[in-house]
Structure 1
Amino acid sequence: MLENTLPVLLARLDFAWITTFHILYPPLTIGLAGMLFVGEALWMRTDDEYWYRLTRFFERLLIVNFAAGVATGVTMEMAFGILYGPFSQAAGPFFGQVLGYETITAFMYEAGFIGLMIFGWGKIGRKMHLFATFNVALSSALSAMWILDANSWMQTPTGVELRNGVFHITSLAKALLNPDVLYAFPHMLVASYELALALVGAISAWYILKGRHVAMFRRSLRLVILALVFVAPLQVWLGDSLGLTVARHQPTVLAAMEGHYDTYNPDGSVNTSWKLLAWPNAQNDGTVWSISIPHMLSLLETHTWSGKVIGLNEFPADERPPMLIPFYGFRVMVACGLGMVLVAFWGAWLVYRRKLDARAGGTVWFLRAAVAAAALPYLGIWVGWWTREVGRQPWVVFKIMRTAEGVSHMSVIEEVLWLGGYMAFELTVWGAVWWYLAKLVRQGPDLDAPIPVFGGVDPEPERAGAGGVRETPKAEWPAPPGGIHASGAR
């Protein structure tokens, strides 16, 4: 098949490499910005220095992550034109508008307010600074909305028609509100918050295990657990709802995700068994072996005992996606989601029993699990994205434009060179980011920096330093119980 020619496969591999690394950063920026807003709001409401120190500490992590997201995002947009030139030209009337909306309503919006958030401490009013932090959180979510909208349109294209090699918009509203985006965007947004919660929870648990600033990080861990009790189950429900949308509009994708080749027959010769494990044959028209649970697929996808679930063999061989990555990627994603639910309710039980302390023997295992759980949302987002993109094959725009029609006409040597360049760049950014994030975590929060006085109004102006920051002696700070400058191991 044309889709399996080496230039097409290399173009797909190039773009897969770029998106796999880029998607590490925007979800964390979205979720962490929301958490910074909550942390700063708690500080304003309580005047508790713990929340200020935690907000400034995690703000440093967001800055590094944000910079990496911008660098890899620019590379990804450049790759569209280089690797998928014909598709970029054909989809320009729609993609151009969506990316333009993203630039104006999200990227430029975020760029302005993130400057106020980072550099505005002590220079603008306290409420204005909180407003800036809120807008960073909102604009980053808007950015994800537009990007998911464009990708969802590739999954369920509506409101356009292809004429003379160009997608002409017949209804912008239908194109923007395509069936996939209605659940795909909330699913990705909640995944972003779940990722940030898991990372903040892991860092907090690590500090508690190490006996460093225990009283402070126990607060952030409690907040994470409380949020995850709602967020983790919500993410599982959204994933199930998105699966119903996929079943309705992309039956080939669902069939590949479930390794389901033969459509259910009422006479019982074929039932909708759910394959727990399976391996496809070389012809991609059946499995070599499988471990199945009868009727379970019907219950999962139609919520009935014997509902119809279309199999891959209902479609021409050249329109079937490869099964292996969607099948196992989907299962890993589900396992990650359920793992986060387990960790959330485990932590909630410990909070309820007032045992969230490193000195309690049973809690140590939870803290270790919380540290390890930081990998679950990352892995879930990765395999979820691979499932989504590989499942759409062999189409770049589902059922309208094939991937082979959308890739640029480059030689194998040119594509290999681009792949080598992208690999070097993305690995360099990835290595630098994680090295610096690890360094910041090891250093911990800055407990010696003075707390800023907002708006330039200081009740004791004789002690005010440059920039409206009051050089308050540490002894005069309102210290929470246990003291913030000790190890906090109480």
Structure 2
Amino acid sequence: MDIDPLLLARIQFAFTVSFHIIFPSFTIGLAAYIATLEVLWITTGADRYHRIARFFTKIFAVSFAMGVVSGIVLSYQFGTNWSRFSHVVGNVVGPLIGYEVLTAFFLEATFLGIMLFGWNRVPKGLHVFASIAVAVGTSLSAFWILSANSWMQTPAGYELRDGIAFPTDWITAIFNPSFPYRFAHMVTACYLTTAIVVLAVGARYLVAGRFPEESRTMMRMAIGLIAIFAPIQALIGDQHGLNTLEYQPAKIAAVEAHWGGEPTDAKTGIPLILFAIPNEAEERNDWQIAIPRLGSLILTHSLDGTFKGLKEFAPNERPPVAIPFFAFRIMVGLGLLMIAIGWLGTFLLWRRSLFHAEWFLRPVQYVWPIGFITILSGWFVTEVGRQPWIATGILRTADAASPVTGWAIAVSLTLFVLVYGIVFSMGIYYINRLIVKGPQGAALEPPHEELPPSRPLAAAGEATRDAIVRPGE
């Protein structure tokens, strides 16, 4: 039985990179959050910031370790499964990834030990500086990785010699046309992902009646960031979409499931398709639900504007439609949910009822995964939408694979799934145990002068402590 090595190589890389991106996206935002807490601690002297920072530093350590372990294999796959890719574009992509090691990784490695183990061992100012340095390092890492990825999407500052890409202008290559939008979009997504997790943890503690001072601080900070950054992310996404329409129009056509070729488009505009089942075989959409002209308004800022449809591209130049189409809608839907959570939480905070609103706190304690799902959906749009190119206009994905057998890739893929499944399960289990334990040195119960959020909520907290917390203490 023959197994397609190209398909398996793509599945393997998609699996490993999807698993890996969960952890850097969390640690980038979490490092910035910890640094902010420490600055607040040293400037205000409030111990709650110190306790929350130490608590999340433990979670950061686990996430950072899993991110490093899951990311190592990605570089090896360039040589094992995608050697042609390394040969053709390695002159550009290789140095960009190398810069990440020379700047971001060295900076993180220098100060990470102080951040993790320097509590009460080094002066406060040094520890705060170390945490800020680690936060800067994680952002620098995102800078270089996204620069390399953006160059593959919208190459610039290079020339081809015998089919091999050589850099001619490093500034143009680094700051390629899509990089500023992609970098801003991704870093904002990382901050929102962390804020959603912090919000869920704070709500979880309030529902259980535990760590009231810390949980309220977590929720105030998280809601403030979500309320501001979630709408900003929508604006960044709009500009990123316009940039993609200019440089990768086939991707936008796939995202919108816009087949084109209709003579009425120029007269009636292009609808925004809310839901459909893309039918690639017949080049149409089934079960379509659309809003007239709204697609034109969003992408061209005109009710009568048009853009290329999939039929205007040769069949071998089109990306798959279903994955970008549905992934984009998941991303946008969860983004709107974040806006709603942020604004509703701000309203409740303004009304001084946030910490008593049981109807809000109970569901919010379970929203922690939505940031990760949103990031994964966005990456599916980005990576699947650029097909059939692995480096746009330079190298096709089908031409980038190594001459290895399908069975060899199948064996390594199976091992990756097993090992990653174990690592992921253990990491999530340990992080959850850290959350159950809570901030070190914090009071478990509310002070006597404070009333619990509500009697039903407090009763639920007592049951939660009896059923969950005490067996693990």
The one-character-per-residue Cα deviations of 1:422-469 (angstroms, maximum 9, x if unpaired) are 212221221111010011111111218xxxxxxxxxxxxxxxxxxxxx
2:125 counterpart (108, 111, 127): 127
Give the Cα separation in 2 of the matches to 1:10 and 1:270.
Answer: 43
Give the Cα separation in 2 of the matches to 1:410 and 1:431.
Answer: 31
SS at match of 2:159: strand
Give the Cα separation in 2 of the matches to 1:197 and 1:428.
Answer: 27
Give the Cα separation in 1 of the matches to 2:128 and 2:35.
Answer: 7
Give the Cα separation in 2 of the matches to 1:267 and 1:90.
Answer: 40
SS at match of 1:339: helix
How many Å apart are 1:110 and its aligned residue? 0.7
Contact preservation (8 Å) 2:88, 2:395: no
Tell me whether 1:421 sits opposite 2:421 in the alignment: no
The change in CA–CA distance for 1:194 and 1:180 in structure 2 (over 3 A counts) is same
How many Å apart are 1:221 and its aligned residue? 0.7
Contact preservation (8 Å) 2:269, 2:303: no
Give the Cα separation in 1 of the matches to 2:20 and 2:265.
Answer: 48
How many Å apart are 1:270 and its aligned residue? 6.7
> 1:454 corresponds to which residue?
none
**Structure 1 unmatched runs, 5+:** 449-483
Contact preservation (8 Å) 1:99, 1:147: yes
1:294 counterpart (292, 295, 307): 292
> 1:22 corresponds to which residue?
20
The change in CA–CA distance for 1:35 and 1:85 in structure 2 (over 3 A counts) is same
Give the Cα separation in 2 of the matches to 1:404 and 1:433.
Answer: 35
> 2:438 corresponds to which residue?
444
Comparing 439-448 and 17-26, the one that deviates more: 439-448
> 1:252 corresponds to which residue?
250
Give the Cα separation in 2 of the matches to 1:400 and 1:284.
Answer: 29
How many Å apart are 1:220 and its aligned residue? 1.4
> 1:162 corresponds to which residue?
160
How many Å apart are 1:91 and its aligned residue? 1.4
Give the Cα separation in 2 of the matches to 1:487 and 1:264.
Answer: 65
Counterpart residue identity of residue 361, structure 2: L
Q: What does 1:192-207 correspond to in 2, within 5 Å? A: 192-207=190-205
2:71 counterpart (73, 77, 82): 73
TM-score under structure 2 normalisation? 0.91
Give the Cα separation in 2 of the matches to 1:485 and 1:326.
Answer: 46
Contact preservation (8 Å) 1:22, 1:69: yes
Contact preservation (8 Å) 2:147, 2:174: yes
Give the Cα separation in 1 of the matches to 2:87 and 2:22.
Answer: 28
How many Å apart are 1:81 and its aligned residue? 1.5
> 1:470 corresponds to which residue?
none
Give the Cα separation in 1 of the matches to 2:217 and 2:60.
Answer: 20
Percent identity reads 38
1:305 counterpart (288, 303, 306): 303
Give the Cα separation in 2 of the matches to 1:39 and 1:74.
Answer: 30
Comparing 429-438 and 282-291, the one that deviates more: 282-291
Contact preservation (8 Å) 1:262, 1:311: yes
How many Å apart are 1:407 and its aligned residue? 1.1
The one-character-per-residue Cα deviations of 1:117-143 (angstroms, maximum 9, x if unpaired) are 112222322212111111111110100
Q: What does 1:202-241 correspond to in 2, within 5 Å? A: 202-241=200-239
Give the Cα separation in 2 of the matches to 1:33 and 1:189.
Answer: 12
> 1:383 corresponds to which residue?
377
Give the Cα separation in 1 of the matches to 2:77 and 2:419.
Answer: 13
The one-character-per-residue Cα deviations of 1:254-309 (angstroms, maximum 9, x if unpaired) are 00000001156477577411111112224262223411211111011011111121
Q: What does 1:26-45 correspond to in 2, within 5 Å? A: 26-45=24-43
Comparing 367-376 and 220-229, the one that deviates more: 367-376
Tell me whether 1:370 sits opposite 2:368 in the alignment: no
Give the Cα separation in 2 of the matches to 1:340 and 1:221.
Answer: 14
Aligned length: 447
SS at match of 2:354: coil
SS at match of 2:335: helix
> 1:60 corresponds to which residue?
58
Give the Cα separation in 2 of the matches to 1:105 and 1:117.
Answer: 18
SS at match of 1:437: helix
Counterpart residue identity of residue 246, structure 1: T
Tell me whether 1:399 sits opposite 2:397 in the alignment: no
Contact preservation (8 Å) 2:265, 2:306: no
Comparing 103-112 and 262-271, the one that deviates more: 262-271
> 2:471 corresponds to which residue?
none
Tell me whether 1:409 sits opposite 2:407 in the alignment: no
> 1:435 corresponds to which residue?
429
Comparing 385-394 and 422-431, the one that deviates more: 422-431
> 1:145 corresponds to which residue?
143
How many Å apart are 1:350 and its aligned residue? 0.9
Counterpart residue identity of residue 438, structure 1: N
The change in CA–CA distance for 1:263 and 1:373 in structure 2 (over 3 A counts) is farther
Q: CA RMSD in A?
A: 1.6
Give the Cα separation in 2 of the matches to 1:284 and 1:248.
Answer: 27
2:338 counterpart (317, 337, 340): 340
How many Å apart are 1:215 and its aligned residue? 2.3
SS at match of 1:23: helix
Counterpart residue identity of residue 29, structure 1: T
Contact preservation (8 Å) 2:91, 2:165: yes
How many Å apart are 1:108 and its aligned residue? 1.1
Give the Cα separation in 1 of the matches to 2:158 and 2:360.
Answer: 51
The change in CA–CA distance for 1:318 and 1:439 in structure 2 (over 3 A counts) is same
Counterpart residue identity of residue 41, structure 1: V
Contact preservation (8 Å) 2:111, 2:130: yes
Contact preservation (8 Å) 2:261, 2:309: yes
1:315 counterpart (294, 313, 316): 313
